[in-house]
Amino acid sequence: MWTFIVRRLLQSVIVILGVTLISFISLQMGGDPTYLFVSERASEEEIQMIREALGFDKPLHIQYLTYLWNIAHGDFGNSLSYRQPAMGIVLGALPATIELTIFSMVIAITLAIPFGVFAALYRGRALDGSIMTMAMFGQSIPSFWLGIMMILFFGLYLGWFPISGQVPFLMPLFQGDFATAFGNLPSSLYHLVLPAVAVGFYSLSRNSRLVRSSMLEVLGQDYVRTARSKGISERAVVVNHALRNAWLPVVTMIGLEFGFLLGGVVVIETVFSWPGIGRLVFNAINQRDIPVVQASVIVLSVIFIALNLIVDLIYVRIDPRVKL
Amino acid sequence: MTDTTDTLALAPVKGSNLTRELGRAWRSMLAAKWPLLALLILLVVIFVAIFGPAIAPMDPNRQNIMMRLAAPMAEGPNGSVFLMGSDGLGRDVFSRLLYGARVSLLVGVAAIVVGGTLGVSAGLASGYFGGWVDDVLGRLGDIQLAFPFILLAIMFLVVLGPGLFNLILVLGIGQWVTYHRIVRAQTLSLREKEFVEAARAMGDSTFSIIFRTILPNIIAPLTVIMSFNVASVILAEASLSFLGLGVPPEVPTWGSMLAQSRDQLLANKWWLAIFPGLAIVMTVLSFNIMGDWLRDFLDPRLKERG
């Protein structure tokens, strides 16, 4: 067990180093990175001054080590458009992104289990057909287009849901202001519905198919037949015997799922004017604010890697077949 | 999707049965119905991608400030009709949609060619040679999978700048790992098969064994992956174009048309968002359905598992 944890930890550290290396290389790919940090009207002297200030005149390996050292201290330099440390801006936007990601993950997983199970139990019938058709569409619709369509229909036409903005829940919670946090909760969830469905629909579809096929497989296993022959009710067979094993593939996916959802969140936040990292990245892209883009990408990657690590460790606990 | 295709095991290809196989494929398609519709839609999209400029009623970049945001079927200049309305600059949505098919499909296919070539070569090398080659390529793949692809794409495209070539390159590099893993697994098992051993015994060169003996036997599972892959690359292209990291704004793509529709959303100009979105959904859906059908067709054992 401990050797597994240590090995996985080491692996994560290597991957994080890989991420920083890739982001460093991406900076260098366009030639002298100084030009990414100066305005188009800067004079040759100014450019030289900034080059020296940012250390781009030093040898590459020194530059990388300095870069790594600064990142380790959370220093990505100042945002070019806000003139504040990029890291602070990114951390300020993080809670909104986490709220959206978690809520869409809840949708993608909790709904996928009943969908997949019922599709498997009613295999070949109308219910199965409609769930699988929905899943097929769900895997073919760009999340941001789904978002736009939901804004048009549920937001503008029916007027059921707010179409933009966010009511913070995690932010006051982190700051210890529980009264505000829980006072905000209903309105916060109400604002989350449309963007979270838009982000989670693709994953919901994929997971439904996954649960269905693994459920079908499990239902054909000997131990399910044994359980049935013992005269246990069908409900108990499904819930206690089949489901417990059928949802394992979904658990394996949770870590990767999170990364996938993050990708969707980046785009969806722009559609719904959600004040998270995604919209921040979108604006930073348009203003070519490199420090903010880099800080966002690395913060999200580190979260993703850490989560995958945690999921792997949890997996060992819930699946008794995994022996270390 | 990918893990099931790992297990596709196929007999060595025999060229003489080609017509019989095609007949079997056609009957299987007729029986399943949906793949037939998907194939039809894809043929239309390909036709439009090739002949779009000849069909398009107007110049896709011709701005007409007097006729901004015309509703679908509204009258256009010189007695023409805006079939799908006009956008914020008075350009014909229908014509842009037709031109967009070309770019979307080109990006999808080109990225697969780039990613497929890289991934298949890497997979063949990993599987056939093993050892440190396999280790290095495997760890590289692990690192790439360890962080979300879209973040990688954003990071590179922000620095390299948007553009058709950069977009294809980044999307292609994003795909290689999938091909690497599948081809590696297939090569590993094929390497031990009798017909490969026979080729070795007959003194074939390593190059010839890899490309003439092993590669043809991997083509079938590869087509399944490619089909799903084109679908996901088209989706990724749409997302990146939406973020402003795709092709330059004057080049019409379905993704960039959707990006431009966002400004008009509150004004309820629905036609700007619905048509390009439907084009993406129909195309991607067709590729996904084809992928599903191909997988079942090539390995009927998998059909059971849906």
End-to-end Cα, chain A, rounded Å:
6
Shortest alpha-carbon distance between residue A92 and chain B (Å): 19
What is the Cα–Cα distance from B154 to B158, expressed in whole angstroms?
6
The pLDDT of residue B2 is 40
Can you tell me the mean pLDDT for B58-84? 65
Least confident of A97-101, A201-205, B300-304: B300-304
pTM of the full predicted structure?
A: 0.79
Contact B243 A293 (CB under 8 A): no
For residue B60, the SS3 value is coil
pLDDT on residue B7: 42
A78 phi/psi in degrees, rounded to 5:
-85, 145
Highest mean pLDDT among A26-40, A83-97, A247-261: A83-97
- For residue A22, pLDDT over 60 is answered with yes
As for the ipTM of the complex, it is 0.75
pLDDT at B114: 92
**Whole-number pLDDT of residue B225:** 83
d(CA A149, CA B72): 18
- Put simply, the answer to whether B147 touches A15 (Cβ < 8 Å) is yes
Interface touch B154/A266, C-beta < 8 Å: yes
Output the pLDDT for position B118.
92
Q: Report the alpha-carbon distance of residue B201 to residue A55 in Å, rounded.
A: 59
What's chain A's Rg over C-alpha atoms?
A: 24
Interval B171-193: pLDDT, tens: 888 888 888 888 888 888 888 88
Chain A nearest CA to B36, separation (Å): 16
What 8-state DSSP symbol labels residue B72? T
Contact between chains at A145 and B154 (C-beta distance less than 8 A): no
Q: What is the mean pLDDT of residues B238-245?
A: 82
Q: Which of A23, A137, A144 sits opposite B285 (nearest CB)?
A: A137
Which residues of chain A make contact with B265, given a CB cutoff of 8 A?
148, 151-152
A42-51, A214-223, B53-62 — most confident range? A214-223
- Per DSSP, B193 falls in state S
Is the pLDDT confidence value at A100 over 50? yes
| Distance (Å, whole) CA B304 – CA B281 | 27
